[in-house]
Structure 1
């Protein structure tokens, strides 16, 4: 049972796996304990939410996703997967909400699916996994998705994914055999996602769609700590496109106070204590809790947990996975 005396805690990057989607990526795998949790939408998930103090999860499909499928089937698979996700969260609407899977390989279909899931299924936005067939999100072929997101007034969560193959080859190849996680959560994911966001800011997409909302996780993928330096990149006439201005106006980071380092203290670590939800479109507006945002000292012995390392994903041989030059779509 949730504690009504503390702020409402909403977790935005909470994944699951749809059986049809992952069937197209037979060569990719995860550790069994991870797969168990990705496939569970009931007792185990709720139990661990309660243990972690999470009141509501906004659930999204974990990688690999439908944006890596062939454009001929990506839209249809996305529709079926999103419908099944709607059915799953309907069993516990007090604990679950959803971000849509989008077939970004076909941007027009992706924009249509975003609208369908928001207006008909009650989804809160969508989550996009990094590049689509090596193409960055600032490419104007994707702008119909941004236009639709602004019209619907819902956010797009930009989730980390592997860097561009050329970057992998030049920056990481020498060390991947001994340090495979360097390409992922260890470093590659952060750099790739931060670069995506910088490119979005510099592309002018926020001038075209000033109410567009982009969400970055993981303390803003390190960007808040580099904004002063990054702001020197745009030429003087383009100061309106400085990342610091755009990050405060249109980009949410998690936690939002990543731009303010914790105060010095003898405490061994600091954590960000979230405020009560101010977005009734994501969290139940009927729950009122005191706003308590701020840096809080961690307990004297910070809790740690072990994590099983998942096997490095292998390439899929499925004919439904996009592997060649663009035909229809990207």
Structure 2
């Protein structure tokens, strides 16, 4: 495993992080989830990402149980706050001081730890003054309940405002967690350069596009049984990518991957990690062998000519419009 600094901070994270969105507490049983977490540890992965909303808090519980007994100082545990949890009452969502302070206590209890290494605002809250949100995060950091603060899917303007407040409050806002892969590049034109200026790293999710970039979905054929495309909770995220033309183009990436001794999934991860501003790539898994396969992508870098070939093969299937970033955060709170 290779390690990188999280932005310009002193914290190092494993290039491949293990995340449990759509898996723990929903798609796979706790025993299998624990096996995947232990496989991650065996592969040298030290960075684990979750959120209170995943499986309505159950994912945090499963991860905490799976990591029980490990040396806490050797792990980097990330979680998030924003989306509705619990009975989803009027204050069970958003980035108000009330919800943030109550959420961190719940997350720490479920994860079985006294602190998280990174506490992230899962989306921007248009209904709460940003000053209130950042003040609550500052209290959490100063109380030792989180070492660093991050955001997820925020616009460049929101990130710059938050970073200015963070400096005034003397807390380290060090990362952004966006969706990023060969097909989805909406952060490249604005968010990435701004974060580079501010010393913030990218903790990217969906680096293999929910499995589309693994090559397991074939043009003209039904999705494999048991895959995300056939699951009740995951199919909605990739159904628009399962076109014959795109799947054919993904298959055309296979020779490039083979030239580098990589599977298509590893090649997709190597593509993400070839961007120096990416601190780590979050991968999920439903089987331990998937974890080990993903971990083998660490340390691989693709040259500029290979990156250009990827662009040529994927063509207009690449989404780059930076205005889409703002669509991720609901304009009104979800209940």
Q: What interval of TM-score do these two structures reach, taking the shorter chain for normalisation?
A: 0.3 to 0.5
Normalising to structure 1: TM-score of the pair? 0.41
Normalising to structure 2: TM-score of the pair? 0.41
Bigger CA radius of gyration: 1
